[in-house]
Structure 1
Amino acid sequence: MGDWDPAGGAATRRRRATLTASRTASLQPANGRSPAACDISATAESSANDGQRRRERSVETVRSKARGDKKKQRRNDLGDRMSCHKTQESLLTSTSGYNNYRGVLNWCVVMLVLSNARLFLENLLRYGVLVDPVQVVSLFLNDPYSWPAACLVIVSNVFIVASLYTERQLSKGSFSELVGFLVHCINFATMLTFPAAVVLLVPSVTPVGGAFVLGTYTILFLKLYSYKDVNLWCRELSTIKAKKLARSLSCPSPHTLNGGELKVCYPGNLTIRDMYYFVFAPTLCYELNFPRSPKIRMSFLLRRLFEMLFFIQLLVGLTQQWMIPIIQSSMKPLEDMDLSRMTERLLRLAVPNHLLWLIFFYWFFHSSMNFTAELLRFGDRQFYKDWWNSETVTYFWQNWNIPVHKWCLRHFYKPLLRRGFSKIISQSAVFFLSAFFHEYLVSVPLRMFRLWAFTGMMAQLPLAWFVGRFLRGNYGNAAVWMSLIIGQPFAVLMYVHDYYVLHYREE
């Protein structure tokens, strides 16, 4: 320490100055940049490195996950090879929950077409072509210069005007309620008895023409009865000064409907135009303001018109070519009371009769009624529901003919309940009324009274009880179909046999 070397100290100081200068030079920015810029550059490089490391880690994670999935799939494949059974039901078992039988339905349709094609070909080979459109005209007109059926339809306007006149007098107070009720009763009784008397007493009225006339008068009877009831309800509501009434009855002040039309109020509905709109509308239940469609769809109207023309020709052709030969060949077994041959003829008649009934249903309830509704812009097009899914007889009668069901419910069944009758008695009364009109529409045109139609309708009561009590689901649906397929041709054979014995047995 005491011996200090000046030369050595100077060398040491020079080395320290050189190290300091080199460190300072390493911290100077490149290309003249500031230290802050250098820091930002360093940070960016660090971030880029971090992003690259994250991407590498994510790729590695995906690869490891893929390797894990492959391992899991290999394990599952090995498990599937080891075990191929599990707890499950057969498809045709009711507890399996399977309900897609589209292929079976297609198979049934193909088999039905093939079997009926064979029957049709056999019919042609045996009888030849029996379709004769000219013969259909003779069913309506025996004498081309005498049209009693058409004249009776024209005369029905007298009963329409009489009902309208009575309601007008009741609205003005010129008739008391008792007098109006008596006038309506006389009008309704005459509507049912007058055309029946003409059909029975005038020989030129054919059975087909008579059935058409009586069907027209029956529909008109139900319409005018509903017209009388609704106007009576309007007067009752006016009497108690109801402030807010249902659209189907009356209204305190004019309103606008959805179609932009003025809402009609009682007694403003008592006009010729309103009456005849209801007469031609496809419904039996009267309202002051029917739901209206916005416009007439010409394409829809033309499709329904084409269906009407096509199916009516198909009905006539199948009746002449298929039904009549079977009925004619059934007369001898019926006359001889050969039970086995009668059963065979009944089963032969069941298929064409049921097919014609289905075609008639589509022609009348879908094509014809939709055509009329579209022409009149009538909004309510629910003329039928899914009666083909009926699991009870009661459900079928409630859904296959909605206009009649609505009328019975509104003007017959519910009034009986309000008067204190039980549901069983009210339902029986509805079936009794339906049975009466069925017999009325069949026996009077044929000019014979055998009560087959009446008995068939009343037999629906015990059948409805049996099916509802003991059968459910598909079994109930099958029972309804069996009653339709077998019951109708049985009644047809009975009437045809009695008509044949009564008129053509000697020939």
Structure 2
Amino acid sequence: MENLMTMPPVAHATVAETSATTTAVEGTNGELRERNGNGNGIFKPNLEEPQLLKPQVTGGSSDEALSSGTATPLPEDAPPSAVSISVARRVRRRLFPTIAYESRVSHFDPASQHHDFRGFFSLFWVGLVIMLITTVLRNLKENGSIMRTNIFSLFAHGPFELGIADLAMVASTGFVLPLQQMYAKGGIKMGDKVIRWDKEGHWIQHALQAVWLAIWVYLPFFFNWQWTRQVFFTLHALTLLMKIHSYSFYSGHLSECHQKLKSLDLLTPEKETTEQSELRETLAFELTSPDGRVTYPNNLTRENFVDYMLCPTLCYELSYPRVPTIRIEKLLEKSSAVFGCVFLLTVVSEEYILPVMQDAHIQLAASTGYYESFLILLESISLLLFPYMITFLLVFLVIFEYVLGFFAELTRFGDRHFYSDWWNCSDWLEFSRMWNVPVHRFLQRHVYSISRPRHGRPVAYLVTFLISALAHELVMFCLTKKLRGYGFVCQMLQLPIVAIQRIPLVKAQRRLNNVLFWVSMIWGLSMISSLYVLL
């Protein structure tokens, strides 16, 4: 993902760089941007007008974050690095290009200011209830039973095996913590050689992550799991991979800043130049959380790591905004909604998707020509348009509103901005930023922002879309056990489509573009699923 061959730019700040006035702030849709807009990838301290990135932490005490600790007065003989970090805690400035987390609720939360479409949200659920009642009555009439059970029966096969494997996979992510603890102490000692993060360390992390992913992706194939368990396990594996990548590469960056700051302590205050003093301050800011409560390497604890793994975010930070308390009624509401959505997803798949796929498979096997096969495929795609639209909306709700909302409530995670109003999108680039904010933030921070300074914006876009498309293709491969590339090709085709949509004459037609977005989304889901299953 990231190729950190050298120490991050801020740790190599020159005299000109450390006196410039550039900071990294977050764009309107969660994307990172440079304040000077020069696109050179160097994020420099703003020593004249500090821009405070202030997560709104409520609930009071300074030790609210799990790894915050207490504010201990510094002794008179404290080294200059400790003095700089103490100042950084009070100033609360943030210089590393990062995510500006803040306390906010999701769009569909009752407390949200976006309440003018709550009626449509209610109408959606009323429509699903009507669909469910109709399905039950039809099954009672035709089969004498309430529901078909082909897919429902899959959930009863090996749930304990899945649970044990998933717990083992989660526990295996802990290998990154001792590695980062060693990097914080100067590196991994192997005889006379010391492995530092900016040398071999990040390459070792890449290799370990690749081996880790290969093991857990192969496991469902080894046990020959059915598709429902395999797709859940694969999605969870990719989620954990992004989490440990962000934890390792951000902590590795901080370890280099920490070593650089400690090396400045070898200088006496009298011999320290102005440039070295400014660099000391810059590095101290890097090592301090946005709210000034946590300082590297005090964050490298088991409690902090477990808290991060439970938080509904893919980008590691030293601390996050928190709400005052855990609301038990919200936990019950979110968990109940998860089971409700999974139930409805199963009903839609069982009653409206699986029968169409089975009939189309039989007809294709008996077809005598390409034209007949084409008509059968086209008919199956059209019959699946509405079921897949419902499936798409339910998947969105169960993941971004209920699952992430549950873990946000459990960890008191304050920033519930897991999605934006993607339903108003007019092009695919907007959709990629607004549909899945946690993944967008991860790709923006750990892929795009690393590629752009070296290769420019077009290549950075290409690399970001390429990695996303490969991840989606991996999920489809695990789901269908077919390596076809349909999803990969369709996702990569979004790049030229976006280029066309960004032409001023085309871009001005926002309503038309929104209609085309919805048509392509609904048709694309049905078409890709039919191609993977039937061909």
Output the TM-score relative to the length of structure 1.
0.68
Structure 2 residue 468 is the aligned partner of structure 1 residue 452: no
- C-alpha offsets along residues 407-447 of structure 1, whole Å, 9 cap, x if unaligned? 0000100111122x121111111111011011111213433
Instruction: Name the stretch that deviates more: 382-391 or 237-246.
Output: 237-246
Contact 2:151–2:346 (Cα < 8 Å) also in 1: no
- C-alpha offsets along residues 21-45 of structure 1, whole Å, 9 cap, x if unaligned? xxxxxxxxxxxxxxxxxxxxxxxxx
1:354 aligned counterpart, secondary structure: helix
Specify the alignment match of 2:423 in structure 1.
Answer: 388
Specify the alignment match of 1:25 in structure 2.
Answer: none
Structure-2 separation of matches of 1:248 and 1:389: 38
The correspondence for 1:403, drawn from 429, 434, 438, is 438
Structure-2 separation of matches of 1:371 and 1:229: 27
Contact 1:222–1:284 (Cα < 8 Å) also in 2: yes
Q: How far apart are residue 208 of structure 1 and its match?
A: 1.9
Q: How far apart are residue 292 of structure 1 and its match?
A: 0.9
Q: How far apart are residue 132 of structure 1 and its match?
A: 4.7
What is the number of residues matched between the two proteins? 384
Question: Residues 248 and 158 of structure 1: is their aligned pair in 2 closer, same or farther, counting only changes over 3 Å?
Answer: farther
Structure 2 residue 147 is the aligned partner of structure 1 residue 131: yes
- How do 1:42-53 and structure 2 match up within 5 A? none
The correspondence for 1:180, drawn from 193, 198, 201, is 201
Instruction: Name the stretch that deviates more: 303-312 or 266-275.
Output: 303-312
Contact 1:251–1:266 (Cα < 8 Å) also in 2: yes
Structure 2 residue 448 is the aligned partner of structure 1 residue 413: yes
- C-alpha offsets along residues 184-234 of structure 1, whole Å, 9 cap, x if unaligned? 12220112211222233333x222222122111111110111011211221
Structure-2 separation of matches of 1:110 and 1:291: 32
Specify the alignment match of 2:333 in structure 1.
Answer: 303
The percentage of counterpart residues that share the same residue type is 23
The amino acid across from 1:131 in the alignment is M
Question: Residues 354 and 276 of structure 1: is their aligned pair in 2 closer, same or farther, counting only changes over 3 Å?
Answer: same
The correspondence for 1:214, drawn from 197, 218, 234, is 234
The correspondence for 2:221, drawn from 200, 218, 221, is 200
Contact 2:254–2:296 (Cα < 8 Å) also in 1: yes
Structure-2 separation of matches of 1:113 and 1:154: 34
Structure 2 residue 190 is the aligned partner of structure 1 residue 190: no
Q: How far apart are residue 333 of structure 1 and its match?
A: 4.2
Specify the alignment match of 1:430 in structure 2.
Answer: 464
Specify the alignment match of 1:27 in structure 2.
Answer: none
Q: How far apart are residue 497 of structure 1 and its match?
A: 1.2
Structure-1 separation of matches of 2:424 and 2:401: 18
The amino acid across from 1:165 in the alignment is P
The correspondence for 2:175, drawn from 148, 155, 162, is 162
Question: Residues 315 and 475 of structure 1: is their aligned pair in 2 closer, same or farther, counting only changes over 3 Å?
Answer: same
The correspondence for 2:405, drawn from 330, 354, 370, is 370
Contact 1:312–1:363 (Cα < 8 Å) also in 2: yes
The correspondence for 1:153, drawn from 151, 163, 166, is 166
Structure-1 separation of matches of 2:383 and 2:415: 39
- C-alpha offsets along residues 144-185 of structure 1, whole Å, 9 cap, x if unaligned? 8x82x4343233245422111110111112422234224312
Question: Residues 114 and 474 of structure 1: is their aligned pair in 2 closer, same or farther, counting only changes over 3 Å?
Answer: farther
Question: Residues 296 and 406 of structure 1: is their aligned pair in 2 closer, same or farther, counting only changes over 3 Å?
Answer: same
The amino acid across from 2:446 in the alignment is H
Question: Residues 496 and 153 of structure 1: is their aligned pair in 2 closer, same or farther, counting only changes over 3 Å?
Answer: same
The amino acid across from 2:230 in the alignment is G
Gaps of 5+ in 1: 1-100, 499-507
Question: Residues 384 and 139 of structure 1: is their aligned pair in 2 closer, same or farther, counting only changes over 3 Å?
Answer: same
- How do 1:17-416 and structure 2 match up within 5 A? 124=139, 129=145, 131-132=147-148, 135-139=151-155, 141=157, 147=161, 149-157=162-170, 159-175=172-188, 176-177=195-196, 178-203=199-224, 205-241=225-261, 250-251=287-288, 263-335=293-365, 336=367, 337=370, 338=372, 339-416=374-451
**Would you tell me which structure has more helix in proportion to its own residues?**
1
- How do 1:439-478 and structure 2 match up within 5 A? 439-469=473-503, 470=506, 472-478=509-515
Q: How far apart are residue 131 of structure 1 and its match?
A: 2.6
Structure 2 residue 532 is the aligned partner of structure 1 residue 495: yes
Contact 1:245–1:251 (Cα < 8 Å) also in 2: no
Structure-1 separation of matches of 2:446 and 2:512: 33
Gaps of 5+ in 2: 1-115, 189-194, 262-278
Q: How far apart are residue 129 of structure 1 and its match?
A: 4.9
Instruction: Name the stretch that deviates more: 344-353 or 303-312.
Output: 303-312
Structure-2 separation of matches of 1:442 and 1:134: 21
RMSD over equivalenced CA pairs, Å:
3.3
2:417 aligned counterpart, secondary structure: coil
Q: How far apart are residue 489 of structure 1 and its match?
A: 0.8
Contact 1:249–1:288 (Cα < 8 Å) also in 2: no
Specify the alignment match of 1:60 in structure 2.
Answer: none
Question: Residues 291 and 313 of structure 1: is their aligned pair in 2 closer, same or farther, counting only changes over 3 Å?
Answer: same
Question: Residues 126 and 325 of structure 1: is their aligned pair in 2 closer, same or farther, counting only changes over 3 Å?
Answer: farther
Contact 1:248–1:289 (Cα < 8 Å) also in 2: no
Contact 2:447–2:464 (Cα < 8 Å) also in 1: yes
Contact 1:304–1:367 (Cα < 8 Å) also in 2: yes
Structure-1 separation of matches of 2:525 and 2:127: 20
Contact 2:227–2:480 (Cα < 8 Å) also in 1: yes
Structure-1 separation of matches of 2:126 and 2:333: 29
Q: How far apart are residue 274 of structure 1 and its match?
A: 0.9
Question: Residues 129 and 467 of structure 1: is their aligned pair in 2 closer, same or farther, counting only changes over 3 Å?
Answer: farther
Q: How far apart are residue 316 of structure 1 and its match?
A: 1.4
Question: Residues 218 and 117 of structure 1: is their aligned pair in 2 closer, same or farther, counting only changes over 3 Å?
Answer: closer
Structure-1 separation of matches of 2:323 and 2:355: 46
Instruction: Name the stretch that deviates more: 205-214 or 239-248.
Output: 239-248
